[in-house]
Chain A
Amino acid sequence: MGALLNSTVFAPWDDPQAKPLIQFQNVTKRFGGFTAIDNLSIDIFEREFFALLGPSGCGKTTMMRMLAGFEKPTEGHILLAGQDIDPIPPNKRAVNMMFQSYALFPHLSVWDNIAFGLKRDKMPKRDIEERVDEMLRLTRLEKFASRKPHQISGGQRQRVALARSLAKAPKLLLLDEPLGALDKKLRQDTQFELMDIQEKTGTTFVIVTHDQEEAMTVASRVAVMDHGRIIQADTPARIYETPNSVYVADFIGDVNIIEGRATPKGDDSYSIDWAEGQTPLQATSSAAIEKGQKCHLAIRPEKVTITAERPADAANAVQGKVHDIAYLGNLSTYHVELPNGTIIKAQTANTRRISRRSFSWEDPVWLSWTATAGVLLAN
């Protein structure tokens, strides 16, 4: 995971001295009675690849359209490099956008599409030619320069849209579901291409997506949104490993949520009563949780081990029987039903051939995980 390696070097959000490129200051946006963005504050730093992730209607597109200048905040301010950009119209902002539909001008060739923004800047003709050729090289479109948008493939059009929005060397590039129209294979290739281009150009990217895998792959930080608020904004690794709420844990990846009541045992460790007549579960939490407080234990399926016998040294072990098996080729997810009816998912790599699989339907099994495997979330 590239983002993980980068995060040790590139983490301006942890540096109190770093000056943010974009600041949302208590921004609220209402459309009539509907609140699209609810008192939102966030800093985005230069050279960041910032992903806005959330279900449709969560306000991520509105945030992007406010950055582009197509919408104005109802309350609060948006600052770009320290300057309040609310009164600046879209055509005067050093911000460019790559549209979800690509919005390529159908009457212009690929070359003219890319040159369109440069021509508006009254750039000398030779400079325009140079810049367009550079963009064509960057996006590997040299051969298609004279084609019209309807004469090229979807992937090529997506690259034209990217080249066009990068041509003016904006301080900030907005990408609205840029890969939504591509098939999965092409999408994965393009994600790495995007990261590569972002690194080469040093532009700050803000990407809107509802695809969590995409956000995790490309972004330096991911903001998980819901109902016009940012629930958590952090590196992909921290979003996945230490979600701050059940919503985030559930939204990103697959997760088992076990509800219970916590009892502090000191040193950040807690025991959780989760079902009648069952041994309490052991977990740790850096956030303080009071005795008897209702809480949720979130454990990723790949952190749950499935065995035939009870493991001797496991901090947590529960018994159940295999209810269902989801075979994904490289992985299998076992849905194990506990005596009280709870289903816990455990994921294992398929290191052996499927015919030699250790467990089958209705087999009694033990599930175990360490005290630090799960995340304890207070309500």
Chain B
Amino acid sequence: MNRLSWFNAVSLTLGFAFLYIPMIILIIFSFNESKLVTVWAGFSTKWYGELIHNEAFLDAAWVTVRVAVFSSTLATILGTMAAYVLVRGGRFFGRTLFSGMIYAPLVMPEVITGLSLLLLFIGIGLDRGIFTIVLAHTTFSMCYVSVVVSSRLITFDRSLEEAALDLGCSPAQAFRLVTLPIIAPAVISGWLLAFTLSLDDLVIASFTSGPSATTLPIKIFSAVRLGVSPEINALSTLMIAVVTIGVITASLVTKRAAVRQKQEEQAAARAT
């Protein structure tokens, strides 16, 4: 292993400091004894204890988790279907347009997505609540799922599906018994990605939520406007933990699948 040159070491430190110092400060102060956020008064976990008794936060957390689970599941189903059709559907009319359009929401400003969804829900007379947030989150996170799944499908050996058909599977059975188990790692990491995206979304949720359903990010945002409390720090620390776990799991699942695929390819190459 080469030692880092002083220049690289400095760049690395600066870059990571820039990225992580704010979060580290937040985490440190979540263990602060004092009620004043900016004054350190010793280590304590009491704000985490207080959190458990804060009904409003717990309600919001429960809403957030439900929204994330439902929307990421829905997004995974729709995104996988979209990816499958776009990669495997052959050359149907407007295919290029469709594959372009599936990526468009990735770069669309969230304000615009949120606003257009709000207008839609008002237009069709849908009461805003958990259901509308789920719909909204599904809308933007399914493109992420579809990107992850289609990149796996592109490298998928088509003859595996043909072999399944040849051995007596209907196309649906071939998908369920052969394609899905093989692309499962990509589908799972797509789900985790959608889950974390839904968990930390503020903008779209605030457009599409109603008085009956407030997600955690909205709750935190509105609480902060009244002043930052150590309790919020504790809550945010917990969210960072959940999102980190989600992202790490997703990348591990993908990485393991990639390693395994590589092993299989190498084994295949040895045979030639």
Q: Are A150 and B168 in contact (CB under 8 A)?
A: no
Q: Are B162 and A70 in contact (CB under 8 A)?
A: yes
CB contacts (< 8 Å) of A68 on chain B: these are: 162, 166
Q: Are B182 and A181 in contact (CB under 8 A)?
A: no
A112-128: CB near B (< 8 Å → 1, else 0) gives: 00001100110000000
Q: Are A106 and B264 in contact (CB under 8 A)?
A: yes
- Distance (Å) between the CB of A112 and the closest chain B CB? 10
Q: Are B159 and A107 in contact (CB under 8 A)?
A: no
Which of A95-103, A255-263, A275-283 contacts the other chain? A95-103
| B interface SS class | helix
CB contacts (< 8 Å) of A95 on chain B: these are: 166
CB contacts (< 8 Å) of B244 on chain A: these are: none
Is residue A164 within 8 Å, beta carbon to beta carbon, of the partner chain? yes
Is residue B170 within 8 Å, beta carbon to beta carbon, of the partner chain? yes
- Choose among A91, A100, A149, A181 the residue that contacts B166 (Cβ–Cβ < 8 A): A91
- Choose among A69, A91, A96, A106 the residue that contacts B182 (Cβ–Cβ < 8 A): A106
Q: Are A105 and B168 in contact (CB under 8 A)?
A: no
Q: Are B271 and A157 in contact (CB under 8 A)?
A: yes
Q: Are A91 and B271 in contact (CB under 8 A)?
A: no
B residues 162-201 touching A (CB-CB < 8 Å): 162-170, 173, 177-178, 181-182
Q: Which residue of A lies closest to B173 (CB)?
A: A120
Q: Are B263 and A96 in contact (CB under 8 A)?
A: no
| A181 to B166 alpha-carbon distance, docked (Å) | 21
Q: Which of A120, A164, A168 has the most CB of B within 10 A?
A: A120
CB contacts (< 8 Å) of B177 on chain A: these are: 116
Is residue A311 within 8 Å, beta carbon to beta carbon, of the partner chain? no
Is residue A253 within 8 Å, beta carbon to beta carbon, of the partner chain? no
Q: Are A103 and B165 in contact (CB under 8 A)?
A: no
Q: Are B163 and A97 in contact (CB under 8 A)?
A: yes
- Distance (Å) between the CB of B88 and the closest chain A CB? 14
- Distance (Å) between the CB of A184 and the closest chain B CB? 12
CB contacts (< 8 Å) of B162 on chain A: these are: 68, 70, 90, 97, 99, 103
Q: Are B181 and A97 in contact (CB under 8 A)?
A: no
Q: Which residue of A lies closest to B163 (CB)?
A: A103
B256-268: CB near A (< 8 Å → 1, else 0) gives: 0000100110011
Is residue B2 within 8 Å, beta carbon to beta carbon, of the partner chain? no
- Distance (Å) between the CB of A366 and the closest chain B CB? 46
Q: A68-B162, A105-B178 are in contact. List 15 more A-B contacts (CB 8 A).
A: A68-B166, A70-B162, A89-B165, A90-B162, A90-B166, A105-B182, A106-B264, A107-B181, A150-B263, A150-B264, A151-B267, A153-B270, A153-B271, A155-B271, A165-B166
A-B contact pairs, 30 of them (CB 8 A): A68-B166, A69-B165, A91-B166, A91-B167, A91-B168, A91-B169, A91-B170, A92-B168, A95-B166, A97-B163, A101-B157, A101-B159, A103-B159, A103-B162, A105-B163, A106-B182, A116-B167, A117-B167, A117-B168, A120-B168, A120-B173, A149-B264, A149-B267, A150-B263, A154-B268, A154-B270, A154-B272, A164-B167, A165-B166, A181-B268
- The 8 A-B pairs with the shortest beta carbon distances in the complex, nearest first, are A154-B271, A117-B167, A120-B168, A103-B163, A103-B159, A150-B264, A150-B267, A90-B165
